[in-house]
Structure 1
Amino acid sequence: MRKIMQNAISPLSIIAALAAGTAFVATAARAAESGSACTTPAEDSADAAACKLAGMLERMFIYPETGARYAAVLREGVAQGRYVGPDREAAARAMTRDLQATSPDGHLRVFVPKEQPPAPAAQPRPDPAPDFPIIEQPGWIAPGIAYIRFNEFPYDPAVTQQANDFMAQHATARALIFDIRTHHGGGVEQMDAILPWLFAKPTRLLTMETSQATEDEFGSPVAGLASMRVIPDKTMARREHWVTPNDRTALRGAKVYLLTGPRTASAAEHFALAMKATHRATLVGEPTAGANHFGGQVDLPGGLVAFLPVGRTYDPATGKDWEGDGVAPDVAVPKEHALEWVLKDLGIDAAKARALSATHAPTLPMERRKRS
């Protein structure tokens, strides 16, 4: 979920994949043959990047058998020269294609970071400002009906305060609509500002886990958060996400709707599954992106960066997560018509609901992001 591996990581469950068989034996054999290619890669090259990433995936990926297959295909790519010659962008695309062809993952990718201008001497470089609005159109969309669109859950206390302020300013609402059709991820801080208004008793939401070895090396982005309860375990770093009600009771009986679609990803899917699993909201729209496995960015040689997934989030009642499949809506309608459906369900006449849906159409794409 968090975007930096320096601080990052969060939880996992080592359910060793049962798919070994001859395909994995063959992959392992090729890896052994090509392993020597990673002993002396050219320094600061794409091959060096592939070799470093192979080692990290082998040690830290959520499912060890899949991590070994990823490592094998990258080392094979080095041995066959697939990452030599192209520019950095082409090498990053080639590695990502190899990884996704081995086992699709909604987060795992290699890319070239955007260049940032140098910071003035002796001054820390600030995080780059997002090139899109984080929150859009918060307010009363109709009498008694509050609406807000989130495009991200950033690690930003100011946005967390905005989320809390929205809840306080609309504490008399009979219904709240959270539009996350263009929400591509982040952390849990804004969720932790919203959820205490909506629940009547302490409630377990979801479980997050990663290997203890990964957390020991990199730490956790949710360590220290009051909403994250540590579950002691010798091999796994596991935390349960809980909501504790605040003392404001007005919204506990309000109807809650989440608008979802194929661009709803990562932390937004965490929000969606938490609300669905606890039966506190109705999800309307299309299935979410299916990007469950979380982790953070790691710097690689050759000016490349990878997003390395190291953990997963899942429903503790079923043990299931949403990787690949997404979170299914309770009411399946085309994503473009999700808001219109909700407004009509709340008693707004069809013509007015259609007009309000048009004036509250997302400014960002609702389609799934395409990878090269």
Structure 2
Amino acid sequence: MIRSARLLPALLIAASVVALPLVATPPALAADEESADQIAEKYAALLERDYVYPETGKRYAAAIRAGIAAGRYTPLTGEALGEAIDRDVNAVAPDGHLRLRAPEGAAAPGTPAPVRRPPRVPIEQPEWIAPGIAFIRFNVFPDDPAVTAAAAKFMADHADAKAIIFDLRTNGGGGLDQMDVIFPWLFAEPTRLVTMATRASVDAGGGSPIDGIASLRLVKGDVGMVAREHWATPNADARLRDAKIYVLTSGGTASAAEHFSLAMKHTRRGTLVGAPTAGANHFGRGDDLGGGYSAFIPVGRTYDPTTGKDWEGDGVQPDIAVPPAEALVRVLTDLGVAADEAKRLSDAHMPSRPMERRGPAPAR
């Protein structure tokens, strides 16, 4: 779900372009270097060792090893191998972030290459959408200081807003960097946002993707987990403390964008408008499996510190449920914009990327 400057993004549910794949290896060369069974076994070992829930990790590993023993993976290469292993893993317990990534261009002969969307533009349409109402769309929360600086500038430039609309309907995830320059403007006192818990064995081995982030505070967690709370610390400028905050959500709102959404909902600082989010909760890191293959291993989860519940499979529920394409109209009219003008503005600020969940919703 989350990343920082060191945190690989949990964006695999949304075909991340922030977590760049490893250098492409031609399928034939990959087969020479690493057999299908070797790749599968590496994946099984990583899941058994590092997956956020140890017992589930063992079950994942057992399913993959059963596939190896049955010879299901031996004749496969490229995308076909990744899909076969993913099917076996998801049959055990679906996870919104689990996916084995094949080398670029590794489709089987005669198989159409997968359609790859162009890279996400991190920020779109940061502007005054109407008098006193600021608007910004984040398509991703990347590990990019320039994007973080742009987010900080947006907040400073619109510090006199009576309302800010954060459009996360097409945000596939990322990390905390942009959030940590936004949230200090919105709170009047230090505020606990969410809790993030990493498997203790991963943390102890120096593999926690969230260790060392300044906005996270180490707290006592469940047995076998290391817990850190994400806090918002107010800045010195009080102009936005009472501004209305709206977050537009959809099935395309995934991972770190769900973290942002839950933070606003849990603290009651923002109003979520749209559809339930994607339900991709677990954060983690990328691992090389050899032969150009890689995998994202979820090593932790983010949850509501009051209820202890996360959003895996279910998504974060909106406060005002409307079709995502109508969310901006609803917010603008609630803010007093005339209906015909709200529709015109919504059409002019409609995301170009899909606002639907990619693939079936994971079962709990």
Normalising by structure 1, we get a TM-score of 0.83
More moved, 1-10 vs 133-142: 1-10
What letter is aligned with 1:61?
Answer: Y
**2-side partners of 1:320 and 1:3: how far apart?**
20
Q: Counterpart in 2 of 1:153?
A: 141
1:320 and 1:7, CA in 2 relative to 1: closer, same or farther beyond 3 A? closer
Q: Does 1:297 align with 2:297?
A: no
Q: 1:113 to 1:72 in 2, by over 3 A?
A: same
Shift of 1:42: 9.2
Q: What's the counterpart of residue 34 of structure 2?
A: 44
Q: Deviations over 1:139-167 (max 9, x none)?
A: 00000000000000011111111111000
Please state whether the residue corresponding to 2:327 is helix, strand or coil.
Answer: helix
Aligned residues of 1:262 and 1:367 also touching (Cα < 8 A): yes
Deviation at 1:354, TM superposition (A): 0.5
Superposed, which structure 2 residues align to 1:61-140 within 5 Å? Answer: 61-114=51-104, 131-140=119-128
Q: Are 1:60 and 2:50 counterparts? A: yes
* Cα shift readout 1:230-280 (whole Å, capped 9, x = no counterpart): 125684321110000001101000000000000100000000001000000
Partner amino acid, structure 2, of 1:280: R
TM-score normalised per structure 2: 0.85
Residue 113 (structure 1) shift: 4.0
Q: Which residue of 2 aligns with 1:259?
A: 248
In the alignment, the residues of structure 2 paired with residue 301 and residue 316 of structure 1 have an alpha-carbon distance, to the nearest angstrom, of: 38
Change over 3 Å in CA distance of 1:167–1:3 after alignment to 2: closer
Whole-Å separation in 1 of the counterparts to 2:46 and 2:139 = 30
Structure 2 SS opposite 1:251: coil
Question: What residue number does 2:259 align with?
Answer: 270
CA 1:50–1:3 in structure 2 vs 1: closer, same or farther (change >3 Å)? farther
In the alignment, the residues of structure 1 paired with residue 231 and residue 4 of structure 2 have an alpha-carbon distance, to the nearest angstrom, of 24
Aligned to 1:13: none
What letter is aligned with 1:165?
A: K
Which residue in the other structure is 2:161 paired with?
Answer: 173
Superposition misfits of 4+ residues, deviation over 3 angstroms? 1-10, 232-235
- Alignment-derived partner of residue 221 in structure 1: 209
Identity in percent:
58
Aligned length: 327
Amino acid across the alignment from 2:203: E
Are the structure 2 counterparts of residues 113 and 160 from structure 1 closer, same or farther at C-alpha, using a change threshold of 3 Å?
A: farther
**Tell me, what secondary structure is at the counterpart of 1:253?**
coil
Measured on the aligned residues, the alpha-carbon RMSD in Å equals 2.2
Partner Cα separation in structure 2 for residue 57 and residue 250 of structure 1: 47
Deviation of 1:215 after TM superposition, in Å, equals: 1.8
Aligned counterparts of 1:220 and 1:111: Cα–Cα separation in 2: 21
Greater Rg by CA: 1
Q: What code does the residue aligned with 2:173 have?
A: G
Counterpart Cα distance in 2 of 1:174 and 1:111? 44
The answer (yes or no) to whether the contact 2:98–2:297 under 8 Å persists in 1 is yes
| 1:241 aligned onto 2:230 | yes
Conservation of the 8 A alpha-carbon contact between 2:9 and 2:173:
no
Partners in 2 of 1:59 and 1:214 — Cα distance? 8
Aligned 1:322-337 pairs, distance under 5 A: 322-337=311-326
Q: CA deviation at 1:5?
A: 12
Q: Identify the range of structure 1 (216-225 vs 183-192) with the bigger mean alpha-carbon deviation.
A: 216-225
Q: Between Structure 1 and Structure 2, which shows a larger proportion of helix residues? A: 1
Q: CA deviation at 1:338?
A: 0.3
Deviation at 1:301, TM superposition (A): 2.7
**Do the aligned residues in 2 keep the contact of 1:9 with 1:219 (CA within 8 Å)?**
no
Q: Does 1:205 align with 2:178?
A: no
CA deviation map 1:70-105 (0-9, x unaligned): 111100111111112122210001111111121110
Distance of 1:243 and 1:160 partners within structure 2: 16
Superposition deviation, residue 346 in structure 1: 0.4
1:271-290 map, 5 Å: 271-290=260-279
Point out the more displaced range, 143-152 or 302-311. 302-311
Structure 1 contact 2–187 (Cα < 8 Å) conserved:
yes
Contact 1:9 1:210 in 2 (8 A): no
Q: 1:216 to 1:195 in 2, by over 3 A?
A: same
Larger mean CA deviation between 223-232 and 203-212 belongs to 223-232
